[in-house]
Structure 1
Amino acid sequence: MAVAQSSIQHHHYEPAVEPMEPSTTSATALPKQASFHSQLQSAKEARPAIPSAFLASVANIQAKAQAHLLAAITCERAKRWFQAIEHYRKLLNSLSKKKFPPEYVPGPQCSKLVFETYYHIGVAFQKVDYHRDASEEFTNAIESGNPPKVACNIGCASIPFYQTPAFARRAYAYVKCDKIKEAIGDATRAVHLDPSNPDVYCIRALVWSSVKEKRRALLDLNLSFRLNASHVCTLILRGAILKSLGGVSASEQNKDHEKALKLCRESMHFFDVEDFHNPKMPSFYDKFLWSLNAFHTITEINLFVGASFVPNSKQPNKVLDEPERKPFRCGCVPPYSSSSSSSSNLLLWRKTSARAVVASTTGINGNNCINCYIKY
């Protein structure tokens, strides 16, 4: 409890102290200075102690949330998707504002955890072909992340493990629900958020190809190819679409597929994938669109770090069931300058994070194939 109490911030008001007036002698300033410090000390001593019942209530909620999170992750790894969804629902219920004491104002980790929970519920629904339910959960994730209303399309960069994967996944779900206009909008938003990532162009190409706009799909795949000529996903999709358009005859060698095979032997099982309607799409997405998977960044829940204790008596006019807090954001930053240092640092961060994800073997998608992901 001592650790938890030190983690929670006190919200209190310092007494109004008039500024010291300038004087010609230090003797006249000392009494006012002493008075100033004494008032500050009195304010600190008047700070209310956090009740033990409050701490115990938050700790109890934290324990329940932790149990549901671990159970959900366990079910994901065992591919028991409906059970995972059930535990995630219970996790969200345990984090409801009604469950907390009215004096509790959650920290940013709580908002981040809510985003990840909605996202993984959406993924679980996609695994069992419940795409309408999946689209609703991705919408909840996007709204809980509180992204900008209009995507920046003039150079904005975003970390690819939050809002960008949610938009990409929802585009996939919208295609399966025959909401093509919405799917194109989400795919385009993903492109705007992470324009240097070849995966997002593959997502939009898959949307175009799903509605038989294969030449438009090729335009996006060519953009992806310019970013990375060894991008396995791009090579698989472009080879399949060119073949369906008659650009590669049966007697000719498919250069894109040959190159993909050299880069990743497993790619040979997906040479017929060209749109979201292919039954191999769930496995294809997991294996070749790694940067568009949002993995668990929170496995140990701590509801005390960054949280605040706001006593009722201190804020009589504040509506405590609607606490003011900074929303969790996806990492979208204002348009960066043209200087090479700023943009290169962002790209370096994204590359490092992508490699870390590939190297991980604790994701929900089974064994990772590090050779299937090409570093760009």
Structure 2
Amino acid sequence: MINLTGIALNVQYPIVGIVTTTPVNLFMRSERIFVSAKINSSVFGYACCITNQDVVAIPRGSLVHSVLEMETLTDGDIILVTTGGRINVMYQSCNADHTVFITNRCNSRCIMCPQPPSNDPPDLQDINQKVLSLIKAESLQHIGITGGEPTVVLDQLCQTLAYLNSNFPNAFISLLTNGRRLSDFDLARQVVAAKNKKLLFCIPLYADNDVQHDAIVGVPGAFADTIQGIYNLYRLGRRMEVRVVVMRQNFTRLTAIAEFIYRNLPFVAHVALMGMEYTGEAEEHLDDLWIDPKEYTQQLYEAVWHLHRRGMNVSIYNIPLCLLKETLWQFSRDSISEWKKNYLEQCNSCTVKEKCGGVFDTSVVQSQNILPLFL
């Protein structure tokens, strides 16, 4: 998420609105946030105004001034302005994707979680709902629901899925969940009740056994819960993607994990083998987790082809092409969110940069083996 900061004047509560850089009709201003270097007393009626200039006082309305990099805000963006002058870009008009952070809470304590669990602000659901209400349905191709763990706020999750089904019927929806609460069949049935036809459950599996998986997740019994949750979703006829995040703890067993998935979960729609985002808890446990993708090139190759040869749909996420065997490029996907994605300086001369998914800009460490390719 793109964040800017400034100095707030008369911002009494969080404000959600659509960015406009040119004045609009008075009757359209209540849901618009005017972004301009020139803010004066004639500008009124907007939900809020934002400027990069220093403003001492304003006669009326809400304003955030002295905002650096204001030019990153473009017409049609939907932003959240907090009482402290923080500006969060909730939706970028140039993207066909949108992510709903439905909760910060979680029922697991994964050692590599990029967003450590915390309590939810009381207005989180209202903010999410407001943002969705301002997005034009035809502008979105994909909506991701994530957290935290979405199923710990079951009512909000079910309400959100029902809203998306009614208002964004053509959007592909991916729900990122650890699957543990879905081990309760009645609860799983509640989640799928909205009957979203384009809903994909994305569920992580970190090992082919309970000892390793539970150690990574930080909760005894998590492996059994997740597997049962997957089976329940299969009984309910839902599509699933199994995600395997590669780390030092599990890279030697990638082929064993692939075999476990093939033998026990052959019905899943997709399997993703993923490079790690080294931030949050992963940064705190960096010495234990870090492994350069170059170190597990062979294990990744064997796991991918093990699944592919058995007719399973498999992809590689979050690993740049220069760190993969060329025979794996066909499985590589541009998977990193636009606001997190970056290319290093040495990537500028790479002849396959346009085909590469880049790296996590949020990671505190990058592979020393990232080099330009000349093909």
TM-score relative to the length of structure 1 = 0.30
**Greater strand percent: which structure?**
2
Work out which structure has the larger RCO, using CA pairs closer than 8 Å and 6 or more positions apart in sequence.
1
**Greater helix percent: which structure?**
1
TM-score relative to the length of structure 2 = 0.30
Q: Which has the larger radius of gyration?
A: 1
